[in-house]
Amino acid sequence: MEVSLLLIRQIAELFFMLLMGFIIAKIRFLSEADSKVVSKLVLYLVMPCSILNAFQESFSKEKLRGLLLAFAAALLAHLLLMAVNAACQRLLHMDGVEVCSAYYSNAANLIIPVVGYVLGGEWVLYSCAYITVQTAFIWTHGKRIMSGEKGFGWKKVFTNINLLVTAAGIVMFLGQLRMPALLRETVASVGQMVGPLSMIVTGILVGYMPLKEVFATRRVYLVSALRLLLYPLLFLAVLKCSGMAALTPDGDTILLVSFLATTAPSAAAIVQMAQVYGGDSAYASKINVMTTLLCILTMPLMVMLYQAW
How confident is the model over 28-58, as pLDDT tens digits? 887 777 877 887 888 789 888 988 988 888 8
C-alpha pair distances (Å), 211 with each of 34, 208, 266: 20, 9, 17
Q: What is the pLDDT of residue 212?
A: 83
Cβ-Cβ contacts under 8 Å for 114 (sequence gap 6 or more): 7, 10, 11, 14, 195, 260
Q: What is the mean pLDDT of residues 98-117?
A: 89
pLDDT recorded at residue 68: 95
Give the burial class of 248: count Cβ atoms within 10 A of its Cβ; 0-12 exposed, 13-18 middle, 19 or more buried.
buried
Q: Tell me which H or E stretch contains 271.
A: helix 268-276
* % of the chain surpassing 70 pLDDT: 97
Distance of CA 63 to the CA centre of its chain: 22
Query: Is it the case that residue 140 has pLDDT exceeding 60?
Result: yes
Contact, 90 vs 277, CB < 8 A? no
Can you tell me the mean pLDDT for 143-149?
83
pLDDT band at 152 (very low <50, low <70, confident <90, very high): low
User: Binning pLDDT at 50, 70 and 90, where does residue 226 land?
Assistant: very high
Residue 154: predicted pLDDT? 66
More confident residue, 183 or 209: 183
DSSP state of 122: G
pLDDT value of residue 236: 96
Q: 151 falls in which pLDDT band (50, 70, 90)?
A: low
Rounded to the nearest 10 degrees, the angle between the axes of helix 181-191 and helix 47-54 is: 130
The residue-averaged pLDDT of 75-91 equals 95
Q: What is the pLDDT of residue 201?
A: 82
- Say yes or no to pLDDT of 175 above 70: yes
CB 276 within 8 Å of CB 143: no
pTM of the model: 0.87
Confidence at residue 4, expressed as pLDDT on a 0 to 100 scale: 67
pLDDT at 155 over 90: no
Work out the pLDDT band at 252, boundaries 50, 70, 90: very high
Average pLDDT over residues 103-124: 86
Torsion of CA 262, 266, 268, 273, to 10 degrees: 110
Average pLDDT for residues 204-210, to the nearest whole number?
A: 81
Q: Tell me if the domain spanning 2-303 has CATH number 1.20.1530.
A: yes
Q: What average pLDDT does the segment 127-142 reach?
A: 89
**Residue 150, pLDDT score:** 72
